[in-house]
Chains A and B, each alone.
Chain A
Amino acid sequence: MQRYDYAIVGNSAAAVNAVESIRERDGDGSIGLFGEEKHRCYSRPLISYLVAGEIGTKGMYYRPSNWYRKMSVEFRPGERVTSISAARKTVTTGSGEKAKWGKMLLATGFTPFTPPIDGLEEVEYITFVSWDDARRMLSLTAKPVRALVVGAGLIGMKAAEALRARGAAVTVVEKLDRVLPLALDARASGLVAERCQAAQIDILTGTGVSRLSGRGGHKGAAVLEDGAELDFDLLVMAVGVRPRTELAEAADLPCEGGIRVDEHQRTPGRDIYAAGDAVSAMDVVLGKPSINALWPVAALQGKYAGMNMAGEEAPYPGCNSMNAVEFFGLPVLSAGIVNPPEDGYQVIMRQDEGGYRKVVLRGDVLVGMLVAGRIERAGILTSLIQERANVRRVKNSLLDEGFGHIHLPRAVRKARIEYAAAGLEAPGAGKGRGG
């Protein structure tokens, strides 16, 4: 039976970053990587860019083609892991092959969630989460079509934008009252919706699909909850995603709201680690574990999982809900809490010709930010959120165009600029605080 010192289940952001972390620390240990898809690791968020024609096939790959060889990884593409045994330390693949491992990483990602809709089984639909989905969409839009997108979250809106770029007539249906209801606040949602409508995407909010009927292949018709009827040649179901926890669950690992890990990305299973979109890990803004199914978060978790798997004691610093998106030339960045509950939070907003900016504070601590249009230097705000910095003395400057390190106390900015980036602690300086 094949044996790996490290078995990696998954082949995306968390898996790749874990491998790179392991290899930096352990040049010799054998690594086996099981990828369910046949592709080399590609960047899942770029499928909309591919469909829109902004990048080509080559631009999809997250790492160069010699990456697996360079990392001395035995890449096993198209091999789905169907079960794991924590007791015997084995994985079993779809073809029935078994392999033993010393340490294992579960980087199983997410799976699209499709609600039961009357008649859904009559229509072939696309969930738009994989390269194969993008290929199907490309071939189906070779000539102009009418497309219906159900769900106005990030996946649905990116699908809508890409379909529009392919010349499709696009309608988006969203149950809640606005687009991107989780990632953005109401005002930013409005700005994105305006851009989309200007690009002739029809957006119907506050309604869902109550019934579907098929007319062969991808063609069909939808009846909406408000009674409206829509014919389509292509249906995208983008209602939501769920963590893929079935392997972990079958191995009796705790999975309430995502695979549970400690601060070293370790599950309670011996030598089993987990990282990425399937995992519930520390959100520093919420102060508790949460799923942030986002590429940069998955990459960071993978990086820390790899360090710990290779024997280093490296606690995951935690992350927060961060998004960077652009729709029809309008960039929008957000971090932390952008839709605070009514009580206990202070919101400061500014809107002018340069764009829209907003920060959310809990007491004197910055817990959220959103910028649309003029996004330069917003990362400074993200870092203050991540550091849970006290911003009492700079509250009123946070939204100024010139806001920067100049507004932080001299000792704090020197610590950040001269030492923090080099991974050093400033002499005599306390923890970096912004006020």
Chain B
Amino acid sequence: MKRIIPREEYCIGCRLCEIHCIVQHSCSKDIIKAFKKERRQVKRIEVEEEGHVSFALQCRHCDEAPCVTACLSGAMRRDAETGAVTSDPERCVGCWTCILVCPFGAVRRDEAERKVVGKCDFCPDLEVPACVANCPNEALVLVEE
């Protein structure tokens, strides 16, 4: 089971993780197009910052995921192979129950699509998720449990 662990002692709050998350989930996967040409994707990672302390947080893919149990439509499921908790956009109706129960505040509305939630999916096309790969300080580390 993969997990991404934030290390706040190395995070400088540069928010490159947020930027690369948006690029990776864009149509073109091109940084200029992703921000200037296409519909801006929802960031699936959030840097929390106060004074000198900062860290990046995305879905924890909880073992006992409250969002999976609470989901009204059955869209939020755990992938049996990867262990990742992901939402099926075809089945999500946008009731926002997952947002109500996520203890990490890690699920966001895709307001352009209105009916779909966005959250970390471990970047299924990449070996190492974009936020981890592009952190200049190793303030996000990928661990296998």
Contact = CB atoms under 8 A, between A and B. Distances in A.
Given A421-B104, A423-B63, A406 B74 contact: no
Interface stretch (B26-34, B50-58, B123-131): B50-58
Interface in A278-319: 295-296, 299-300, 303
Given A326-B96, A406-B48, A417-B6, A63 B60 contact: no
A324 B93 contact: no
A382 B57 contact: no
A62 B1 CA distance: 26
A126 B132 CA distance: 53
B74 A43 contact: yes
B103 interface: yes
Given A46-B72, A423-B63, A382 B100 contact: yes
Contacts of B114: 329
Contacts of A17: 69
Interface string A326-351: 10010101010000000000000000
A59 B73 contact: yes
Contact of A376 (B55, B93, B103, B105): B105
A303 to B, nearest CB: 6
A359 interface: no
A416 interface: yes
Contacts of B96: 324, 326, 331, 333, 375
Contact of B73 (A62, A375, A410): A62
Interface residues of A, number: 47
A33 interface: no
A375 B109 contact: yes
B48 A300 contact: no
Interface residues of B, number: 44
A387 to B, nearest CB: 8
B3 interface: yes
Contacts of A379: 98-105, 107
Given A295-B72, A303-B69, A45 B95 contact: yes
A407 B1 CA distance: 29
A54 interface: yes
A216 interface: no
Contacts of A296: 69-70, 72, 97, 100-101
A324 B48 contact: no
A418 interface: yes
A294 B60 CA distance: 25
B73 to A, nearest CB: 5
A55 B105 contact: no
Contacts of B53: 406
A402 interface: yes
B41 to A, nearest CB: 15
A405 interface: yes
Contact of A46 (B1, B73, B105, B109): B73
Given A326-B95, A418-B5, A423 B64 contact: yes
26 contacts: A43-B74, A49-B93, A54-B115, A59-B90, A61-B74, A62-B73, A295-B72, A296-B70, A325-B95, A331-B109, A335-B100, A375-B99, A377-B105, A379-B99, A380-B102, A380-B105, A383-B103, A402-B50, A405-B55, A406-B49, A406-B50, A420-B103, A421-B60, A421-B61, A422-B145, A423-B62
Given A333-B96, A383-B102, A423-B63, 5 more contacts: A59-B91, A376-B105, A379-B100, A379-B103, A417-B55
Nearest 3 Cβ contacts at the A-B interface? A377-B105, A421-B60, A383-B103
